[in-house]
Amino acid sequence: MTKLAICPGSFDPVTFGHLDIIERASKVFDHVIVAVFHNEGKTPLFNTNERMALLKESTAHLNNVSIDSHGGLLMDYAREKSACAVVRGLRAVSDFEYELQITSMNRKLNKDVETFFIMSNNKYSFLSSSMVKEVAKYDANVSDLVPTCVEKALKAKFNRG
């Protein structure tokens, strides 16, 4: 049976921190779907199609990874895809409380799907999409934080292309 995992998130935009988690998950599971979700607490800079396009380009080298999006509940999506797992990344302690809340709710909604956490690579522990957007807005160099396609897209968004 194919072991399929979902890496859900906003990916607004994808960073090397996300890619590190996606690559490591792709080594453990047969197939990984990176799914772009809408996070009620966040107003996105990139629309869903833009976020998906950047993810597609950044994961083109991973042949068991595909990109999708979903507008509803993660656990309904997981059921629809017959996924056995959800993979999330854990950075500093600050991620923990939030992830604990979501994971216990998700378990209530769908007991057949296990959530796995991959600890962030030390060099990306303090890297977030919000931080990247914040500094890119002021034309800071983000080449060591995001793939080239994202760097270009940020420049275009902030009219610095």
From the list 88, 67, 68, 92, the residue with the least C-alpha distance to 20 is: 88
Judge whether 16 is annotated as a binding position: no
Judge whether 91 is annotated as a binding position: yes
Alpha-carbon gap, residue 157 to 142, rounded angstroms: 14
Question: Is residue 143 annotated as a catalytic residue, yes or no?
Answer: no
133 counts as binding ligand ADP under rule CB under 6 A: no
13 counts as binding ligand ADP under rule CB under 6 A: no
Alpha-carbon gap, residue 18 to 7, rounded angstroms: 9
String marking each residue 71-100 x if it binds ligand ADP according to CB under 6 A: -----------------xx-x---x-----
- Residue 115's φ and ψ, nearest 5 degrees, are -100, 130
Three-state SS at 142: coil
* Shortest Cβ 115–ligand ADP spacing (Å): 10
Cβ-based nearer residue to ligand ADP, 97 or 161: 97
Cβ-based nearer residue to ligand ADP, 1 or 93: 93
Judge whether 82 is annotated as a binding position: no
Question: Is residue 61 annotated as a catalytic residue, yes or no?
Answer: no
From the list 1, 119, 98, the residue with the least C-alpha distance to 42 is: 98
Q: Identify which range of 7-15, 71-79, 108-116, 151-159 contacts ligand ADP by CB under 6 A.
A: 7-15
Helix axes 129-136, 148-157, angle to 10 degrees: 50
Q: Which residue numbers are catalytic?
A: 18, 42, 91, 129
